[in-house]
Amino acid sequence: MGKPNSRENIFSRLNKAVRTVPAWYPDPSPWEPARLTPKERISQFKELMTAGRSEVYPVKGDEWVAQLKKILHERRINTLTYGPETEIGKVLATEWETNDGSTRLIPWNNTIETFRDELFKIDAGITSTMGGIADGAALILWPTPEEPRLLSLVPPVHFALVRADKIFASFTEAIKKLDWAKKAPTNSLLISGPSRTADIEMILQFGVHGPTDLIVLVVE
C-alpha cells in the first residue's frame, strides 16, 4: 500500500540531510532518579500512589484474599473478572469454591471477540503485576495470554497485586532489572492511578474512560 517510492524518497532525502547534523554530540548523561533503600521504595510507592488517588492496602502473604473480599463486600461489587490460569486466579477459584461471597467471579477464558460484550458490563477486574516503581509512582503490568490487557482497563474497578519486594526505585531501574527490552510482552504498561482527565477547566476528574478506582494490594 502507499506509493511504492515513498520509502526510497524519504530515505534518500534523509541520508543526504543527515550529513548536516553534527556527527558527534555529547552522550546523554545517564539519568537516574534518587537511589532508595527497599524500605524507602515501599513507603514512597505507597505515598505517591495514594497521592495519585489510588487506594493502597498493605497485606501480609495470603491475607490479600480476605482484604479483597472485604472491599468487594463493602463496595457491593457484583462481578469480578480474572485470569483463571494465573497464580492468583487459582487462589480465587479455590477460595470462591469453599466460601462463595456475594460477588460473582467471572473467569476470562475466551478471546475478546466472544467476551467483549460481557466484559464491558463487569464491575471489577483483578490482575497481578511485574512490580511497581517508587519514582512516580506506578504499577508495572506485563499482560499475558492468561491475564489479558483489558482486565486492567475496561472494568470500572481495577484490583492489582504488587509484591513489596518487586518495587523498583525507578522506571530506569525496572527496565534494567526486568530486561525489559528483551523480555517485554506484546503490550507492557505503567499504571499510576485511575483513569483521569483535567480537560474541563483544569478540574481533576477520575474515571473518564477506564477504571474509576485503582485498588492496590501490596503483598509484604
Residue closer to another protein by CB (options 77, 178) is 178
Sheet holding 213-219, edge to edge: 55-59, 213-219, 157-163, 124-128, 79-82, 104-107
Nearer to another protein, 104 or 149 (CB): 149
CB of 44 to another protein, least distance (A): 11
The answer to whether residues 216 and 141 touch, using CB atoms and an 8 Å cutoff, is no
Using the minimum distance from each CB to another protein, give the nearer residue, 64 or 158.
158
Strands 157-163 and 131-133: unpaired
Least distance in Å: CB of 8 to another protein? 9
> Is the CB of 78 or the CB of 197 nearer to another protein?
197
Cell of 181: 527490552
Sign of the alpha-carbon torsion through 208, 184, 87, 50? negative
Q: How far is the CB of 189 from another protein (least distance, A)?
A: 6
Smallest gap from Cβ 166 to another protein, in A, equals 18
- Residue 140 near residue 189, CB atoms below 8 Å: yes
